[in-house]
C-alpha cells in the first residue's frame, strides 16, 4: 500500500507540472508590462498646441511678367507680304516665296498678258481679213512643252527641300499637345505636368494689355527660345486648324487623329495665330498666342504653374514630426516595433486534408 501511494503521488506531481509552468509563463509578460503601463500613465498627455503639425507645403512662385508684344512682329500690320519669319524653315519659305515664286509668277503673268494683247491686235479681223491656215509647227510645240517643264523643275527643287525640312524635324526639346474645341484651345505639357485652356480676351482687356484685338488669349503657350518644340494637334469635335504665320506653321486638328508639326523660334516675343478651318459659328474667336521666352523665364513659368522640368522629381511632402514624452516634438520618427505579430492563417474554402 505504501508503494502504491508513492507511485500515485509521483504521477500526480508529473501531471501538474505542465499546468504550473504554463501559468508562470502567462504571468511573466503581464508583470513585465506593468512598469511600462505605469510610466505611460504618469507621462503627461500633449496639449493641443504641442500636437505635431504637418510641414507647410512649399509656396508656388509667382508667374514671370508677361512679355509685351512688339508692333509688326508676330501679328498682322497691314502689309501685303508675309510676316517676318522667326524660324529657320519659315525664313527659307519666305525666301522661296519672295525670290523665286513671286518674280516667276509676275513674269509669266506679264508674258501671257502681252501675248494676248499682241494676238488680239495683230490678228484682228480688220488687220487680217484672211486668217492663217497653219495647222502644225514643230518648233512652237517643242517650246510650249519644254518651257513649262523647266519652270516646274525650277519650282520643285526648293519646294521639295522645304517640305523635307518642315516634316523631318530634329529631336524635340519640348512637346505640347493642342486640342481644338468649339471654341477654344486646350493645351497640355505632358513632360511638365501642365494643362490649361486658352480663350479669347475681350476687346477691353486686350486693349488694356496692349495686345491686338481678337488675337489675344487669356492663356499663352509659353516656349523657350531656340528649343525644338513638337506640337501634337487633335480635336474633340470638328475639324480645326492650329497655326502661327510667323513660324510658318499650320496643321489641321482632326477628331480621332494626331497630327504633328514643329517649330524652333529664334527670337523672343509674342506671336499670334487663329483657327484656319471653318469650325462653326465662333470660328473667328479661337486665337492662338505663343510667348517665346528665355530658358530662365520658361523655368520660372513652369514652376508658377505647379509643373516640373523633365528629370526633376516632384518634392515629397515632409513627414510629420513624432511627439516625444513630455510633449516636445522629436526630429526623428519613432522606431518601429521590433516584435512582429504572427500572421493569422488565411481562411480558405478548402477542407483540411484527412489522413
pLDDT digits 0-9 by tens, 250-260: 999 999 999 99
Residue carrying the nine cell digits 480663350:
199
Q: What is the pLDDT of residue 232?
A: 96
Given a cut of 90, is residue 57 above it in pLDDT? no
pLDDT in tens, 204-256: 999 999 999 999 999 999 999 999 999 999 999 999 999 999 999 999 999 99
Q: How many CA within 13 A on the CB side of residue 155?
A: 12
Q: What is the pLDDT of residue 36?
A: 42
pLDDT in tens, 290-311: 999 999 999 999 999 999 988 7
* More confident call, 147 vs 137: 147
CB within 8 Å of 175: residues ≥ 6 apart: 189, 190, 191, 229, 230, 232
Rounded mean pLDDT of 135-155? 90
Given a cut of 50, is residue 110 above it in pLDDT? yes
Confidence of residue 268 (pLDDT cuts 50, 70, 90): very high
| Arithmetic mean of pLDDT over the chain | 79
Query: What percent of the chain is modeled with pLDDT above 90?
Result: 56
Q: What is the pLDDT of residue 9?
A: 56
Q: Could you give the residue ranges of the DSSP H alpha helices within the chain?
A: 2-42, 88-95, 102-122, 138-167, 203-209, 295-304
Confidence of residue 58 (pLDDT cuts 50, 70, 90): low
Question: Taking the model in full, what pTM does it have?
Answer: 0.68
Amino acid at each position: 500500500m505504501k508503494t502504491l501511494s508513492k507511485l500515485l503521488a509521483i504521477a500526480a506531481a508529473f501531471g501538474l507540472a505542465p499546468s504550473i509552468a504554463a501559468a508562470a509563463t502567462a504571468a511573466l509578460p503581464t508583470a513585465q508590462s506593468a512598469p511600462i503601463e505605469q510610466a505611460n500613465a504618469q507621462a503627461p498627455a500633449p496639449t493641443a498646441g504641442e500636437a505635431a503639425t504637418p510641414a507647410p507645403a512649399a509656396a508656388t512662385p509667382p508667374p514671370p511678367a508677361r512679355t509685351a508684344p512688339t508692333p509688326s512682329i508676330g501679328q498682322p500690320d497691314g502689309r501685303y507680304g508675309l510676316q517676318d519669319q522667326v524660324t529657320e524653315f519659315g525664313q527659307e519659305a519666305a525666301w522661296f516665296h519672295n525670290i523665286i515664286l513671286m518674280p516667276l509668277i509676275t513674269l509669266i503673268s506679264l508674258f501671257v498678258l502681252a501675248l494676248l494683247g499682241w494676238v488680239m491686235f495683230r490678228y484682228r479681223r480688220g488687220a487680217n481679213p484672211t486668217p492663217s491656215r497653219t495647222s502644225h509647227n514643230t518648233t512652237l510645240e517643242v517650246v510650249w512643252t519644254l518651257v513649262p517643264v523647266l519652270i516646274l523643275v525650277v519650282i520643285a527643287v526648293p519646294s521639295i527641300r522645304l517640305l523635307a525640312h518642315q516634316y523631318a524635324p530634329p529631336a524635340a526639346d519640348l512637346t505640347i499637345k493642342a486640342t481644338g474645341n468649339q471654341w477654344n484651345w486646350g493645351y497640355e505639357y505632358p513632360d511638365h505636368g501642365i494643362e490649361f485652356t486658352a480663350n479669347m480676351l475681350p476687346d477691353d482687356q486686350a486693349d488694356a494689355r496692349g495686345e491686338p484685338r481678337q488675337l489675344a488669349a487669356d492663356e499663352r503657350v509659353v516656349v523657350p527660345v531656340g528649343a525644338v518644340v513638337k506640337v501634337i494637334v487633335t480635336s474633340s469635335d470638328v475639324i480645326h486648324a492650329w497655326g502661327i504665320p510667323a513660324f510658318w506653321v499650320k496643321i489641321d486638328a482632326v477628331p480621332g487623329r494626331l497630327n504633328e508639326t514643329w517649330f524652333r523660334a529664334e527670337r523672343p516675343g509674342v506671336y499670334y495665330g487663329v483657327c484656319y478651318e471653318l469650325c462653326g459659328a465662333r470660328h473667328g474667336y479661337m486665337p492662338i498666342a505663343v510667348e517665346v521666352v528665355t530658358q530662365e523665364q520658361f523655368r520660372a513659368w513652369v514652376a508658377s504653374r505647379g509643373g516640373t522640368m523633365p528629370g526633376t522629381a516632384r518634392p515629397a511632402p515632409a513627414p510629420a514630426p513624432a511627439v516625444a514624452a513630455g510633449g516636445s516634438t522629436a526630429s526623428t520618427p519613432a522606431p518601429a516595433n521590433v516584435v512582429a505579430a504572427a500572421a493569422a492563417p488565411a481562411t480558405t474554402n478548402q477542407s483540411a486534408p484527412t489522413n
